[in-house]
Structure 1
Amino acid sequence: MDLMQFIDMILHVDKTLGTLLAQYGTYVYIVLFAIVFSETGLVLFFFLPGDTLLFIAGAFCATGQMHFPLLMALLITAAVTGNTLNYAIGRAIGHRVFTHDYRWINKSALRRTHDFFEKHGGKTIIVARFVPVVRSFAPLVAGVSDMTLARFQLFNVTGAVLWVASLVTAGYLFGNVPIVKEHLTEIVLVGISAAMVPLAIGGLYKFGRRMLGR
């Protein structure tokens, strides 16, 4: 297998995890750790498949092909350390990230995440775990915004545990149900939308209060 084929398999891990397991065995744990770490720790890799990876990995745990507690521990560790690296990069770069042209940073996604962060504060680190792209930029913005490390890690660890545990467990319980396997992408999108509903309601509530107060 050449490099391009391997990269394609990684980008479509929801369909190729079985093949990866057959070819690489326990080394797949390292691959999954690297994917989650890179998606959360390096904004350059915001396109990696985080949510579907967790769900499908949980489904393979249910079939006995992967070890559930080991997978959970590794992926939580990857999510926590990835975000910590991203936060450290944000602290190091500082506010230059908004004024300099860094090729490896998507300015549009960065701005959206910054606005999201300004509205919702520290809990963005938790909620962002369930929102693709925002998940990759939130810890960077937290570092740029000078959030204290202790406060960041509180939200970081909480978000990592909730994200990994909920999706891996959901995959373990439902990932091998035929209708779920056939409509995985749609189900993940619905789950993401559900995670956003509380924030949307909160935003509308605050907007309504401001309007009534005028």
Structure 2
Amino acid sequence: MAGLRFAAAQGPNGGIAGWVTSVIETLGGPGAGLAIALENLFPPLPSEVILPMTGFAAGQGVLSLAAALWWTTLGSVVGALALYGIGAVYGRRRVYLLWARLPLVKTSDLERTEAWFARHGRKAVFFGRMVPVFRSLISVPAGVERMPVPLFLLLTTAGSFLWNAVLILAGYWLGDQWTVVERYVGTFSTAVLVVVAALLVVFTVRRLTERRRGGRRG
């Protein structure tokens, strides 16, 4: 009966919610871990759907709450470690070569970014795991800068567990109303993207202005 109620949570159109439902029903905890690992590798997959639904599934007895927390945290770490590996393999030298080909940026911009990461990398990796979009992307510069793997795993595990626990417990307690979590976290994600877009616009305008002024002086 619990499984039938959980299956009905996907709604008439299925979509991502339907896919998450089928994966968790078929594989249980490992399915939830697989879903959240893929979310790390493909940010368009929303953790605000996967994690509350996992909590709802735990509330319906499809899997235990402990299993939900364990497998999703493991999935987060595996996904993050894959992105860390990409950054480490790509390497600092290639990043500089790629950066030199990009318009409107300077080598000094990248150097300042590296200096910032050297000072705040630990906090960035830990808190970045709780910020939509950045929770995936932060693993790449950690790999490029070769943050010690044990430290990266510790920070990633701690940050991922907190983020996962909040959304899973929300879905567990809200039950059929788990979509409330999706709405609020979705709004937060949109706000983050709007801020990032605004900062990119400001950066672009400033850099174009600097070039225009430099051209006039030349």
The TM-score by the shorter chain falls in which range?
A: 0.5 to 0.7
The answer as to whether partners of 2:83 and 2:140 remain within 8 angstroms in 1 is yes
Q: Which has the larger Rg?
A: 2
Name the residue aligned to 2:159.
159
- Give the TM-score normalised by structure 2: 0.62
Name the residue aligned to 2:147.
147
Report the residue type matching 1:16 in the other structure: G
CA distance in 1, matches of 2:144, 2:84: 8
Deviations 1:139-164 (A, max 9, x none): 11111122222321221111121122
The 3 A distance-change label for structure 1 pair 99 and 47 is farther
SS at match of 1:94: helix
Name the residue aligned to 2:18.
16
Report the residue type matching 1:55 in the other structure: P
Report the residue type matching 1:128 in the other structure: G
User: Which sections of structure 2, spanning at least 5 residues, go unmatched?
Assistant: 1-12, 100-109, 193-218
The 3 A distance-change label for structure 1 pair 159 and 193 is farther
Q: How many residues align?
A: 166
The answer as to whether partners of 1:51 and 1:130 remain within 8 angstroms in 2 is no
Deviations 1:125-149 (A, max 9, x none): 1222222221111011111122222
Q: Give me the CA root mean square deviation.
A: 3.3
Runs of 4+ off more than 4 Å = 114-120, 190-195
The answer as to whether partners of 2:48 and 2:181 remain within 8 angstroms in 1 is no
- Give the TM-score normalised by structure 1: 0.63
CA distance in 1, matches of 2:170, 2:188: 11
Identity %: 27
Report the residue type matching 1:137 in the other structure: L
Deviations 1:81-132 (A, max 9, x none): 221221122111112245339xxxxxxxxx9xx6985784311212222222
Name the residue aligned to 1:84.
81
Report the residue type matching 1:100 in the other structure: L
Summarize the alignment of residues 166-177 of structure 1 with structure 2, pairs less than 5 Å apart: 166-177=166-177
Quote the offset at 1:175 in angstroms. Answer: 3.7
User: Which sections of structure 1, spanning at least 5 residues, go unmatched?
Assistant: 1-7, 102-110, 196-214
The 3 A distance-change label for structure 1 pair 19 and 47 is closer
